[in-house]
Amino acid sequence: MRKVPFFFLLFSLNLLGQVPHCGFDFTSYLVVKANEEGKSDNIPDLKITLVNEKGEEVINENNKFSWKFGNQPLMFTRNHLISKPNEPDKWFFPYAGDTYLLSVTNTFPAEEFYIKIQDTKGKFNDQVVQLQTFNMYILCSSENERQARTFGPRTNNPIEVVLLKNNK
């Protein structure tokens, strides 16, 4: 009977040394805000794809770059508006607002990739933008605190892209 309280004592002491984990510990997001020159509204109906230096779509082989969409091309999706009519805008990912998102692993090598932005309606020219590490949204506070102690550009900045109208 003495073993049971001893076990709980050891278990509770072990918990004191552990850092609580965030639900997003192994996930970051790339966030794209694409607008027309002189306007702030995000352009709807864009196809935004992760590509390599040759412009080829990146396939998420065995979930190497993202925990979602294994063995498929990595494509951005629009943040979901979850507010009801006649309410202020509320977004599924509130930190990102009206943007396009892609979930990636925290070990994602952003500098090795580009995003290709295409307007599905043909109103704007296609654009390719190289990614940087500071483009990643790191969601857990412990990682943000670690990054805040370093020099250089900060994380959690959207990729701001200004699209030019197609002159055709």
pLDDT tens for each residue of 86-117: 888 888 888 788 899 998 988 889 899 999 99
- Residue 145 pLDDT greater than 70, yes or no: no
Pairing type for strands 100-105 and 77-78 reads antiparallel
Distance CA 39, CA 114 (A): 24
Q: How high is the pLDDT of residue 4?
A: 54
Residue spans per domain, the chain: 21-163
Tokens representing residue 21 in the block: 């984990």
- Partnered with residue 78 across adjacent β-strands are 100
pLDDT tens for each residue of 40-69: 889 999 999 999 999 999 999 999 999 888
Distance CA 50, CA 33 (A): 15
Q: How high is the pLDDT of residue 150?
A: 57
Q: How high is the pLDDT of residue 15?
A: 47
Q: What is the mean pLDDT of residues 132-136?
A: 81
CB neighbourhood size of 73 (10 A): 13
Q: Report the percentage of the chain scoring pLDDT > 70.
A: 73
Q: Tell me which residue of 41, 123, 23 sits closest to 78, measured CA to CA.
A: 41
Q: Say which residue, 164 or 24, is predicted with more confidence.
A: 164
Q: How high is the pLDDT of residue 154?
A: 53
Q: What is the mean pLDDT of residues 119-143?
A: 81
Q: What is the mean pLDDT of residues 82-87?
A: 88
Q: Please say whether the beta carbons of 148 and 107 come within 8 A.
A: no
Q: Tell me which residue of 164, 161, 133 sits closest to 28, measured CA to CA.
A: 133
Predicted model pTM: 0.75
Q: How high is the pLDDT of residue 151?
A: 53
How many CA atoms within 13 Å lie on the side-chain side of 107?
A: 5
Q: What is the mean pLDDT of residues 129-149?
A: 66
Q: Say which residue, 151 or 53, is predicted with more confidence.
A: 53
Q: How high is the pLDDT of residue 2?
A: 56
- Residue 85 pLDDT greater than 50, yes or no: yes
Q: What is the mean pLDDT of the chain?
A: 80
